[in-house]
Amino acid sequence: MFPNQTNIRYFIISGITDVPELQLPIFLIVLLIYLITLGGNMILLFLVCLDHHLHTPMYFFLGNLSIVDMTSSTVTLNKILSSFVTRDKVISYVSCMIQMYMFGSLMGHELLLLAAMSYDRYVAICSPLRYHMVMNSRTCSLLASTCWVWGFLQVIPPFGILFSFSCYSSIEINHFLCDLFPLIRISCEDTSFLEKLFFIEGLLLFCLTPFLLTLVPYFFIINTILKIQGSVGRRKAFYTCSSHLTAVILLYTTLIGQYLTPSLSRALESKKYFALFNTAAVPMLNPMIYSLKNKDVKKAFRWTLGQVKQYLLIWSMYFLSLISQWFESRLYI
């Protein structure tokens, strides 16, 4: 007899691996990646907010991307880290559904955000003289808000159906997070409609639409770059969109490995590692991709570091003066 939804109040997350010798190395690697992700994205977001030279559409979208990366990493990696410390692999039913919904929403939002950034690169390269008129603050705010709203709305239908399921053959989820396919595999209800819905919506709305919205601007970008006279001009034009193109290829490659590979038993472990790379490594690499070769970000970082040093020097002198005044007052007592 299968347990029903009223009895299932929790699931057990199996984790990344069952090998005891690998538990500590994986925990340390994931913890390091998580700290680098938070640190890198917070620094990038801080620079974008603080330096007025970075108050441009591209860095506005990068700030949104940093928020998405930090949130998605926190949502997906918290169970791996906490389960190693507490030895507790149990996650409540409600927490599982929330984690799955947040992960799907943030992933959809990131895909749409990359599509918006490709449109920004299209205007910058194909219509540079009209760039500031087209990509004004109103347009950027509209694109960003549309990405946020649509990202959270498009995942409601499949997760609403999954939430209504009342029968599961097991409480153990063979994954390190709550994801749709692992829950479908342990459901004892008819999931054919949900799988078709997920395939149609996931293929058309979740992946194909953002992919086409990203690909079409690059068709015109490449066409414009090829018409530029001189290799220096072409190289400079390609350099302006190389970081974004790298992030797009990286994200879509991991999504293909995570969701579009065959669901065979021997492929389940590889799907886990693709999911781990998608949820941990990609958010960590995004700020590096956009900042390591970016002169504006390096300049802003050096300027901010100089400002921080000045403030630290001023405050240290202020505290030293207070301490010296205190000592002088004590001498006269």
Q: What is the dihedral of CA 38, 42, 45, 46, to 10 degrees?
A: 180
- Over residues 264-281, the mean pLDDT reads 73
Q: What's the pLDDT band for 263 if we cut at 50, 70, 90?
A: low
Task: Tell me the pLDDT tens digit for each residue of 239-249.
Answer: 778 888 888 88
- Which tokens in the block code for residue 187? 């459901």
* pLDDT mean over 188-213: 79
Beta strands in the chain (DSSP E): 10-13, 90-92, 172-173
pLDDT above 50: residue 228: yes
Residue 292 phi, psi dihedral angles, 5° rounding: -60, -40
Q: What percent of the chain has pLDDT over 70?
A: 86
SS3 for 83-149 is HHHHCCCEEEHHHHHHHHHHHHHHHHHHHHHHHHHHHHHHHHHHCHHHHHHHCCHHHHHHHHHHHHH
Q: What is the model's pLDDT at position 314? A: 74
Q: Which among 281, 251, 291 has a CA at the least distance from the CA of 37?
A: 281
51 Cβ neighbours under 8 A, 6+ residues apart: 300, 303, 304
Residue 5: the pLDDT is: 47
Tell me the pLDDT tens digit for each residue of 208-226.
888 899 999 999 998 888 8
* CA-angle at 305, arms to 304 and 311, nearest 5°: 90
At 6 the pLDDT is: 44
Average pLDDT, the chain: 82
- Considering only 150-159, 253-262, 305-314, which range has the smallest mean pLDDT? 305-314
**Lowest-confidence pick of 16-20, 35-39, 169-173:** 16-20
The larger pLDDT score, comparing residue 81 to residue 307, is at 81
The distance of Cα 256 from the centroid of its chain, to the nearest Å, equals: 16
User: Residue 331 pLDDT > 70, yes or no?
Assistant: no
Q: Tell me what percent of the residues of the chain surpass a pLDDT of 90.
A: 19
Q: Is 230 helix (H, G, I), strand (E, B) or coil?
A: coil
Domains of the chain: 10-320 (1.20.1070.10)
Between 53 and 77, whose confidence is greater?
77
CA-nearest of 71, 95, 72, 94 to 83 is 95
Q: What is the dihedral of CA 75, 79, 85, 90, to 10 degrees?
A: 140
**pLDDT of res. 2:** 40
Does residue 227 carry a pLDDT above 60?
yes
Assigned token pair, 220:
């015109």
Distance between CA 54 and CA 297 in Å, rounded? 8
Angle at 282 between CA 274 and CA 74, to 5 degrees: 95
Per-residue pLDDT, 258:
74
Distances (CA, A) of 318 to 171, 214, 312, 325, 326: 60, 52, 10, 11, 12
81-97 average pLDDT score: 86
Residues 51-75: tens digit of each pLDDT: 788 888 988 999 999 999 999 999 9
Q: Is pLDDT of 4 > 50?
A: no
